[in-house]
Amino acid sequence: MHQDTPQPVWRFRDGIIVLATAMAAYTALSWAHMALVSETVGMEAYLGSGDSLPLKILVISQLSKAVALLGVLWLLGLLLKGLDWRAVGLKPVASGWLLAGVFAGALFTATGLVLVKTLTGLVPSWSGMTRAPFDFGPSASPGMVAAFVGMTLLVTPFAEEVFFRGFVYKWMKGHRPVWLAALISSIIFGASHIVPHQAVNAAVMGLALIWLYEKSGSIWPAIIAHAVNNALGVGLGALAAQGLLPSVLTAPG
């Protein structure tokens, strides 16, 4: 007996609207932040000196991105469709899959380091972009360090996985072959990281995160993997900035 193919949760134009609106919202929030700074303390005083960005900029940037992604997804992708967060993969999952996420996150750190070293070897001009963008120096207050760590390890992995895997990939899978949906959604995820070597690494990692999502049936293992990867990246970056890592564990820069 013939079984009807399940209807996609979102129409193709629904996904385009959510994706475009989320990116526009993130751009608008970032522009408003910089405009406010320019009209108050001034950009020179705000940015300070040195090669690394002040933590406050990175915290506000991550917060703006999370608010834009989750806010638009909730309003246009879920609320208007009468859906709850289970539609984007926030479902219970066996503890074994959470452990798999921890292992995958650690593995991504190792493979990502190899990939970055390879890319900077092929494109030497990228090596100057591999230094840690954050500064844990004396100018960073404990509160701001805590905010940065919280955003990087908790908020950003949650927001990006729910949006890019739970929504973008699932939406595209409803209208295109799985392999194409995985490829395109991962490229979009990579492009959101802007810096070339980070973009390539994120796109490759995105494919593996989709595998975790598909096999477990829940977005939580991918969130855990993303969080562990970010945690190790921040830790290694901080140690590298202090010259405490051997060259094999340090990206060229």
User: For residue range 114-135, what is the model confidence (pLDDT) as tens digits?
Assistant: 888 888 888 777 666 666 666 6
Confidence tier at 1 by pLDDT (50, 70, 90): very low
Q: State if pTM tops 0.85.
A: yes
Mean pLDDT of all residues in 87-115: 95
Residues 187, 203 contacting (CB under 8 angstroms): yes
Distance separating alpha carbons of residues 146 and 140, to the nearest angstrom: 10
Cα angle value 79/83/88 (rounded, 5°): 105
Residues 101, 228 contacting (CB under 8 angstroms): yes
Residue 7 has what pLDDT?
Answer: 76
Mean pLDDT of all residues in 43-49: 61
Element (H, E) at 5: none
Residues in the chain: 253
Q: pLDDT tens, 197-240? A: 888 999 999 999 999 999 999 999 999 999 999 999 888 877 77
